[in-house]
Structure 1
Amino acid sequence: MTATSPLENPRPLVFFAAFSAGGLLTLMVHFNGELARYGNPLFSSWTAHGTGTIAAIVFLGLLYRRGRVMTEGRPPAPLWAYLGGLSGAATVMLSSTAVNSPLALAGTLSLGLSGQAIFSLAADHWGLFGLPKRRLTARNLVALALIIAGSALIILEGRNPA
């Protein structure tokens, strides 16, 4: 099974959702950084995940009342799929620490994007976590180099404001 390119079958809603998630991620990192500045990264993580847990319970309760929660006929999730909360908690603590450093919000997010790009290319290449294997191309590596170069520009330029 070969993965199709998003450009072969464009879905505007998917592009909008991904772009919006990036904006929400920026807000989340900023809000969590503020919580960490007034408390500490652990407090920030607990608060963010506590709020998310309450929102999830309310949302699932609404879905359950409408009969839209379906688990029958679906295979159980693999055990590693439940580690998302652990990586999310670590992400909040690490980004809350970094955003309150000289990296600031833009540097934290640009390095985070670099890390996401590197890990996602590795996951695609080796087929980690059940993903279909995808061969790395020169285009992927050029895009990665541009992301890293952009991150370096944001961080280095941020140190010497005009």
Structure 2
Amino acid sequence: MRLTTGLLAMAAGVLLTLMTLTNAVLAQHTGAVFASWAAHGIGAVVALLLLLVTPRTATPEGRTPLWYYLGGIPGALVVVLSAIAVNSELALSGTIALMLTGQVIFGAVSDHLGLLDTPRRPITGTDLAVAGCVLSGAVLIVLGGA
């Protein structure tokens, strides 16, 4: 892994946490579903602006299956569910910790199965240990704040 790729991933994590926080605050005032709609509407405008100012990358030969464009569906649900969770006793840190746990576990399973035509990477003992550590950390954050 290159350092820049790792830093980009960490920056994405910071932005994901900031997004979760701002959407949760908006949801307190407007409701979780409206917060999701607003976040994705504004996000669509920003993505369109980025599309206009960045060079287009090469696409694979052949047509892209329509279902590849359905990533916005889980995105909308993430905003709704995380807004509800942040505005509960979990607060931001507990919500993010449990979201990370879900991401690590699903990511390992997805890699193992090669979901959505991605490269397969078998689950290893190290992967299981990492998932256990992340889960343990999440439990400490959630229960430690009680």
Do they fold alike, i.e. is TM over 0.5?
yes
1:42 maps to 33
2:78 maps to 91
Give the secondary structure class of the aligned counterpart of 1:151.
helix
Structure 1 length normalisation: TM-score? 0.84
Q: Can you give the 5+ residue segments of structure 2 that lack an aligned partner in the other structure?
A: none
Residue 72 to residue 92, structure 1, CA distance change in 2 (3 Å):
closer
Taking the TM superposition and a 5 Å limit, the aligned residue runs for 1:9-158 are: 10-63=1-54, 68-69=55-56, 74-158=61-145
1:14 partner amino acid:
T
Q: Give 1:104 shift.
A: 0.3
Q: Give 1:76 shift.
A: 2.9
Identity across matched positions, percent = 42
Q: Can you give the 5+ residue segments of structure 1 that lack an aligned partner in the other structure?
A: 1-9
Name the CA distance, whole Å, in 2 between partners of 1:26 and 1:93: 14
Structure 2 length normalisation: TM-score? 0.93
2:53 partner amino acid:
L
Task: Decide which structure has the larger Cα Rg and report it.
Answer: 1
Q: Give 1:145 shift.
A: 0.3
Name the CA distance, whole Å, in 1 between partners of 2:90 and 2:59: 47
